[in-house]
Each structure stands twice: as structure tokens, then as C-alpha cells.
Amino acid sequence: YPTATMFPTYADWSWVRTMWGLECFVRYESDILTPHGLCWLLSIRTAFLVVGLYLGQSFCPIALTGGIATGKSTMVRLLVQGQSAMDEFVREEEEDKDGSDGKTEKDDDEDDDKKDDNEHKKDDKNTTNDSPKKDNNNNNTDDVVTIYTVDCDAIGHEILLSPTALKTKQGGSRYSVSPGESVYEKVCQTFAQDNDILDAQTHEIDRAKLGAVIFADAAKRRQLNRLTHGRIAWILWKRLAYGCYLSGQDLVVAEVPLLFETQSWLLRSLFCLTVMVTVESVDVQRARLQARHPQWTVEDCRRRLDAQMPLHEKERRASYVLSNTTGQRRVVVRDLRSIQQSCMDRIHGVGISVTQIVVIVVATLMGGLLYRIHIVNKSGGGDGAEAGESAAAAEL
């Protein structure tokens, strides 16, 4: 075992080198760690340090969440398609105000949500913000930003399909939900008493019928969440990992409508930043929802709104809040570009964060303090013993 004399002294700050593997506690003549072995040890530690820093620094996905009918899909589309789509988004409103175009913002939201089953099922492809034209007025935000998107709603829709349907739909695609990830059988067994949740022709789960069942009964809604949320989180993690490490895109954005409602700290811990899309009031949200789904009654809309967390509570928990205010598209686009640039700065702007610096400093100081206590105890014990022997000799 090493003795007190084998430890480096505190005065020359060698404990700092010891803390980070640059110096060994035991001297070389002890044959416990030779200079050649120390070289290998430092090489291995450095390799793991580099890999760990890469994995930790690279995994920085962004969650885009919000209430139902707040325009989440529209914001994701604008981020992906870039400045040209944002300019068109603003131009539509201005033409509508001038009476040249009858399309309203509600119609735009409705069109976007009708595309969910078609476009969002094709998510997880490498999407690039490659608008050929740039706005010269935005000097620091007109750079091309590539974005990899993941849609949790699309994942939730696909896992409800039967394995047979997934085999047909998959078609060799590498990132779609696999047949083994389907929860079709479990949902059918759990809701066996509700035979009307299946489509009469295709025998697939009818999401509209299933929604009517679970929004009418909170217990059944919790049952469905237990069956689906774990599977969705696992698929989401795999796709986020691919987006962060292998896609080569600048940002990874996941549209997660129920990020806060799931009450899962593990799901929320996957994201480094959260962008919350909101509207002026619940009345506006209800009006947009009714315009999007005319077949729903007022009670159906109320149940779906009540099943979600209030918007003000989500705003309190989010990193950024984007207000999708009706009639203020130019302001919405400006705020969206500002949030995008802020996310880029926070993720790619600094090589090491303030938190990491604090952790390194605190860990070094704590290690040095513990090491100092060890040295003091060693030296203090020796001094006490020598003092006792001197006193005994004096008495004799």
C-alpha cells in the first residue's frame, strides 16, 4: 500500500494533475504503474474524454410543443422551408388584408393539419432550409440552416397500425416504424369491449373513434397513454440520436405536442431547449380547432382542450415562447427567426458552456480539498504521535 511519502505534496499543486490523470499517486519504483503503463492510461482516458465530449455536446435536440390548434405544424414547416416560405407566409396575410386573397390564417392552419397524415408520416428525412433567396435586411440570420425534424404525432399514428399494414407501408424505408414496434394488438386487447374503434373495412384502428372513447373517459385515456408513451419515447430517442449524430444537420427539432402532459422527466430530459407555440387566448384556440374539424361538436372541442395543460402553464416551463398571434404574421416570423438564431448560438456558438466550466472547477476544488484533508490527517497523526513520545520522554 502507498504511504504518505508516496503522495505528491500539496504545495506544488500536483493534486490538480493527479485529479485529471496527469500524475500517479504511486511512485514508479513501486512497480504498480510504470511510465509505459501511465502513457497507456492517459491515452485511454483522453480517448474516452473526447468521445464523451462529442456525444454530450452533439446531442442537443430542440422540442417544439404547444396546445392543440396553436400552429405547431406551421412553425415547423416554416423552419424547414426557410426564408422563402416565411416570406410567402407573410405575403398571404397582407394580400388577404388587401382583399386580393381570401385565404385566412385559420384556413392556413387547417391546410397544414390536413397534411399531417401525408407529409408528417414522411418525417425523419434529411430536411434542408435551402431557400435560394436571402433577405438582405437580416444580416446575421440569413445563413442557410439545415434542420432534421421528428414528428411525435406521426410516430403515435404509425404505432397504432397493424404489423401487416406497417410491412406494406414500410417499403424498405430505414426510419419508419417497424412492425415489431406496433401496439395494435395491445390496444385492441385493452379496448376489446369497444368494438367500434376498428374500421369496418380495413380492420385498422380508427383514430377518430378511439379519440371519442378516450376523451370521454379519463381512465381509458390513461390506459392508452401507458400503452403508447413508452414506445413513442423509445422510437423518438432513436430518431433523435440519428438526427444529432448521423444526419449532419445544424438543428434537430422534434414536434412534441404533449411534452409536459406526459409528466415524464425522462422524455423532457432528452431536449436541451423547448419552444412553446401559443395563441392569444383559449377562445382563439377553440375557434381554430372548430374551423379545422367542422365535424366535431363544441363538446368534443372542449374535451380535447380540457385534456391538455393550460397554455400559461406550458409557457412557464418552456425555454422560448412563440406567440402565433392572429393578424401579426410579420411579427411571428421575426420572433421565429430570432428564436432560431438564439438556438443556433446556444448550441453551436460556444465550445464549452458555463455549466461545464463550473462543474470542472468545483470538481477540481473538491478533489483538492479531499486530498488536502487526507494529507493533513496523515501529517497531523504523525505530529501527534511524535509529540506524545516527546512528552513521555520528558516525564521520564
Stretch among 84-93, 128-137, 306-315, 383-392 having the lowest mean pLDDT: 128-137
Q: Provide the residue count of the chain.
A: 396
Residue-wise pLDDT for 201-220, tens only, equals: 888 999 888 988 888 888 89
Least Cα distance to 86 among 99, 95, 77 occurs for: 77
Residue-wise pLDDT for 41-88, tens only, equals: 666 777 787 788 778 878 999 999 999 999 999 999 999 999 899 999
Of 111 and 61, more confident: 61
pLDDT at residue 58 in the model: 84
pLDDT for 119 beyond 60: no
DSSP track, 110-153: HHHHHTHHHHGGG-SSEEE---S---TT-TTT-S--EEEEEEHH
pLDDT at residue 143 in the model: 64
Q: Which residue has the cell 401525408?
A: 118
pLDDT at residue 142 in the model: 47
Residue-wise pLDDT for 169-209, tens only, equals: 554 544 468 888 999 999 998 887 766 788 888 889 998 88
pLDDT at residue 202 in the model: 86
Q: Give the pLDDT mean for 295-315.
A: 89
pLDDT for 128 beyond 50: no
CA distance 241 to 270: 10
pLDDT at residue 98 in the model: 73
pLDDT for 111 beyond 60: no
CA distance 170 to 262: 28
DSSP track, 159-193: TTS-HHHHHHHHTT-SSSPPGGG--HHHHHHHTTT
pLDDT at residue 5 in the model: 45
**Contact by Cβ (8 Å): 128, 248:** no
pLDDT at residue 118 in the model: 45
Stretch among 94-103, 238-247, 374-383 having the lowest mean pLDDT: 374-383
Q: In the chain, what's the furthest Cα-to-Cα distance?
A: 113
Q: Give the pLDDT mean for 336-359.
A: 76
pTM for the structure as a whole = 0.68
CB atoms within 10 A of CB 254: 25
Stretch among 85-99, 253-267, 348-362 having the lowest mean pLDDT: 348-362
Q: Give the pLDDT mean for 12-31.
A: 54
Cell of 175: 426510419
pLDDT for 141 beyond 50: no
Q: Give the pLDDT mean for 159-176.
A: 71
Residue-wise pLDDT for 235-290, tens only, equals: 999 999 999 999 989 999 999 998 988 877 878 888 999 999 999 888 999 999 99
pLDDT for 104 beyond 50: no
pLDDT at residue 61 in the model: 94
Long-range contacts of 226-230 (CB under 8 A, 24+ apart): 227/183, 227/186, 227/187, 227/190, 228/156, 228/159, 228/160, 228/183, 228/187, 229/262, 229/264, 229/267
